[in-house]
Amino acid sequence: MIENGILGAQDVSRLNEGANENLRVHSIESFGTHDGPGIRMVIFVQGCQFRCLYCANPDTMDVNGGNFYNVKELVKRAEAQKSYFGKKGGVTVSGGEPLLQRTPLLQLFKKLHEKGINTVLDSNGRILDKAAKELLEETDLLMLDVKHFNNGWHKKLTGLSNSSTLKVAKHRESTGKRMWLRYVLVPGWSDQEEYLHELGNHFKDYKTIERIEVLPYHQLGVHKWEALGMEYKLKGVERPSPEELERVRNILEKYFRDVRVN
């Protein structure tokens, strides 16, 4: 049952416990260049617990949407594109929220590794249980979406706490495996200087973080909200200016060795 737009425990369990060889998928992009290193096949999975006010793909939220794809079928598709991946490319699983389907994803990542294909997980870090840890161990690069460092503002933006996201980051650091941070910059919502410094101070000693990507807010998904009959609450918010982006870059460069503004 979905209450106040948030998936209940039964919904989450059902999504993950479907047959281990099947993944509920929203869409697949064949030659992605913005979802991890190199050229990548990007699998956008269905279902998400967060209700981000700026979500560009609100149609991925519904746990019952999308279509089922067999893991073996996805591996075959990746193999067919392997010659394009080169040394850096591979397969990225994004969302929606991939960790909601961590059990079938673990099977997918294991099979991809058997074929010598690199794996990337783009996640908001919503879940950290035994199965999630096993999946993260099979993940070559974790791209962790930190929606806001302040918990109160995080709840305003997503409807939920950021505690699990920070726990996933801490766990990833403990494994010594690669991680990128991603941060959507929304004017008036996630651009407060004090919290950007708190974000930097929290992560400045992490050895696994290779970069932080600042993603400027946009309204490209507004028409999807309207088509779904959902209210888009950030209509009056403009894209951050070049000056605003430079200000944020200067703050984050005090803490991270590689800051990218996408």
Q: What is the pLDDT of residue 20?
A: 73
What's the domain count of the chain?
Answer: 1
CB-side exposure of 121: number of CA atoms within 13 Å? 32
Strand, helix or coil for residue 213:
strand
pLDDT, residue 13, reads 55
> DSSP strand E in the chain: where?
2-3, 6-7, 22-32, 40-45, 67-70, 90-94, 118-123, 141-145, 178-185, 209-216, 259-261
The segments of the chain whose pLDDT lies below 70 read: 1-19
The predicted-structure confidence for 80-131, as pLDDT tens digits, reads as follows 999 999 999 999 999 999 999 999 999 999 999 999 999 999 999 999 999 9
Beta-bridged to residue 141, according to DSSP, are 120, 178
Predicted local distance difference test score (pLDDT) of residue 17: 57
In 10 A of CB 158, how many CB atoms?
Answer: 24
Smallest Cα–Cα separation from 143: which of 172, 117, 116?
Answer: 172
Q: Which residue has the tokens 């400045």?
A: 204
Query: What CATH number is attached to the domain comprising 174?
Result: 3.20.20.70
Note down the domain range covering 95: 2-261
